Chains A and B, each alone.
Chain A
Amino acid sequence: MAREIRPLGERPAILRMQSVDKTFNGQVHALRRMSLTVNEGDLISLLGPSGCGKSTALRLIAGLMRPTAGRIIWEGGQGTDDLGVVFQEPTLMPWATVLQNVWLPFRLRGQSLASVRGRIEEVLALVGLENFAGSYPRELSGGMKMRVSIARALVTNPRLILMDEPFAALDEITRQKLNNDLLTLKAQIGCTIIFVTHSVFESVFLSDRILVMAPRPGRVVKELTLDEPYPRGLAFRTSAKYGEIARETSEALMEAMGEEEAHA
């Protein structure tokens, strides 16, 4: 099931946002003219403070709401299993076991557990939970619950995975571990990810593209490309390049926030 990840310039596009606008109640401008091309194999971070429209962008892509203006185009049409989503909370069904939770996307398509069990177990092994198929979510730690959530998003082998601040509620150590594991996972299966975060360091460590966003109105203020090869590890975390990009990103953020204060 693994897809090959091509170099940055040669990836085929899978989704295009063309100057997408979202306004709530005709007043609150949640997102202004956002354009973005998502290419196969990208790991794109939407980085910004709360209210910058990063979650709105994700919900628009997920089809949970419609743009007020602009277009979102899926190359080759959107199928039912083109999307996997990981929320900030693990969002598991507490009454169901790990196995049943990961089964959900298949179950909604009418596929029996027996017919997809092999695939579910394969994905559980990918996230390191092969021994917890029969556990209930309450028996797992926060990090493990998040892994189940990731497994559920991966299980249908979707073209695009949306992650909405998935590790924000975890402790720093668990978060780093999951960041590392996410990159390993990505290298293994070659998935495409849009990752919403408010952590500069997380976005720099994970992404090959960072979209820096600012609030009121929510908009993209800067786009950075990181041509740093995966897998990235501790060496990258402590490298001069990492620090340089983190500074550049932070400056873009500060600039955008300062602009806003000047407006106010």
Chain B
Amino acid sequence: MSLADDRPSETVIDGAAFDAEEERHARAKRLEAVGKWALPTIVVVLTLYGWDRVVAINHIPHYILPSPGLVAETLVKDWGTLFPSMLVTLKITLMALSVAVIGGVALAILFTQSKFAEMAFFPYAVILQVTPIVSVAPLIFIYVDNRIVALLICAWVVAFFPILANTTLGLKSADHNLRDLMTIYRASRWQRLRYLQLPSALPYFLGGLRIAGGLSLIGAVVAEYVAGTGGIGSGLAFRILEAGYRLNIPRMFAALFLIAFLGVVIFMVTTALNWFLLHKWHESAVKRDV
């Protein structure tokens, strides 16, 4: 009986306790909303400040490590050379990405329409993907006269595989019952593709696009490095090489910053596209309302 004696006569969970809990949730949510932007900003500012201090305190010469201020200054001063170079790199990247999208999706459709086509050509796609572009690029530059086209081919080879692989997977992962329904309603091949397979593949394709966006930039930059400073190419990678030869380290950093900036912009655009196309129906993009 002693056990029962220790217990209070009743335990009350009153309304007010729950309200306090909800209040805490709401506060945490508000804090998170601010932190989402404030935290990364603070980290970036601290990093830049730390970098600046390291350079200043250790008297590191600018041809070894320029201070962030000097990099920014160079960015403004050399804008006339750097900006056109950025446009060149951006152009190659976007063209390669477009060709990768068209080629990747077209091949994926071909693969799902014909098993034999997939059996015959898929190994080539894999070989293209696993062979490091740096080792193939010199050959491409030997055989292709037009340098822009050669750059494009390099960037395309790197970028197209994720689109091909993801889209193929997506086209094949249409719901089985919906496929049966298409058969029952005697849908044509084209209708099946248009109304069932392509929409089913969209989330997969967009996932591939996000990867391919970054890869096409990498492809474009790598190809430019391989092409070297000998030709007419004048993209950002060319500027980095050129500045390196002249020990113009601040300009190297400025060009590097622009490449990173391009990468971030491409990522943001593909992410926004992903949200725009999927937020109404796909789990990955739907906000959960708790």
A residues adjacent to B (C-beta < 8 A): 62-64, 80, 83, 85, 87, 89, 91, 93-96, 104-105, 107-109, 136-138
**Which residues in B have their C-beta under 8 angstroms from that of A87?**
177, 180-181
A145 to chain B, nearest CB (A): 13
Give chain A residues whose Cβ lies under 8 Å from the Cβ of B180. Answer: 62, 64, 85, 87
Residue B245 is within 8 A (CB to CB) of chain A in the complex: no
B177 and A108 form a contact (CB under 8 A): no
Within the complex, the shortest CB–CB distance from A102 to chain B, in Å, comes to 12
Contact across chains for B182 and A108 when beta carbons are under 8 A apart:
yes
- Number of A-B residue pairs, CB cutoff 8 Å, is 51
- Chain A residues closer than 8 Å to B177, beta-carbon distance: 87, 89, 91
- Across-interface contacts of A93 in B (CB, < 8 A): 178, 195-196, 199
Q: Which single member of A63, A91, A138 contacts B181 (CB below 8 Å)?
A: A91
With A64-B184, A104-B181 known, 4 other A-B pairs at CB within 8 A are A95-B199, A95-B281, A95-B282, A138-B286
Q: Which of A80, A89, A95, A107 neighbours the largest number of chain B CB atoms within 10 Å of its CB? A: A95
Interface residue tally for chain B (C-beta within 8 Å) = 21
Whether the pair A63, B286 counts as a contact (CB closer than 8 A) is: no
Chain B residues closer than 8 Å to A109, beta-carbon distance = 185
* B175→A136 contact, CB < 8 A: no
Chain B, range 240-265, C-beta contacts under 8 Å to A? none
- Does B280 count as interface, using CB distance less than 8 angstroms? yes
B281 touches A104 (CB 8 A): no
- A contact face: mostly helix, strand, loop, or mixed: loop
The distance in angstroms between the C-alpha atoms of A137 and B175, with both chains bound, is 15
State whether the Cβ of B191 lies closer than 8 Å to any Cβ in chain A.
yes
Known contacts A91-B175, A93-B178; A105 and B185 CB within 8 A of each other: yes
* Known interface pairs A87-B177, A94-B282; A108-B202 also in contact (CB < 8 Å): no
Q: Does residue B131 face the partner (Cβ distance < 8 Å to A)?
A: no
Measured in the bound complex, the distance between the Cα atoms of B182 and A107 in whole Å is: 11
Q: What residue of chain A has the Cβ atom nearest to residue B188's Cβ?
A: A108
Residues of B within 8 A of A64 (CB): 180, 183-184
At the interface, yes or no: B187 with Cβ under 8 Å from chain A? yes
Chain B contacts for A107, CB-based, 8 A? 195
Min C-beta distance of B232 to chain A, whole Å: 46
Question: Can you report 15 residue pairs joining A to B where beta carbons are below 8 Å apart?
Answer: A62-B184, A64-B183, A64-B184, A80-B185, A80-B186, A85-B181, A85-B184, A87-B180, A89-B177, A93-B196, A95-B280, A108-B187, A136-B280, A136-B281, A138-B283
**A62-B180, A85-B181, A95-B202 known; A108 and B281 CB under 8 Å?**
no
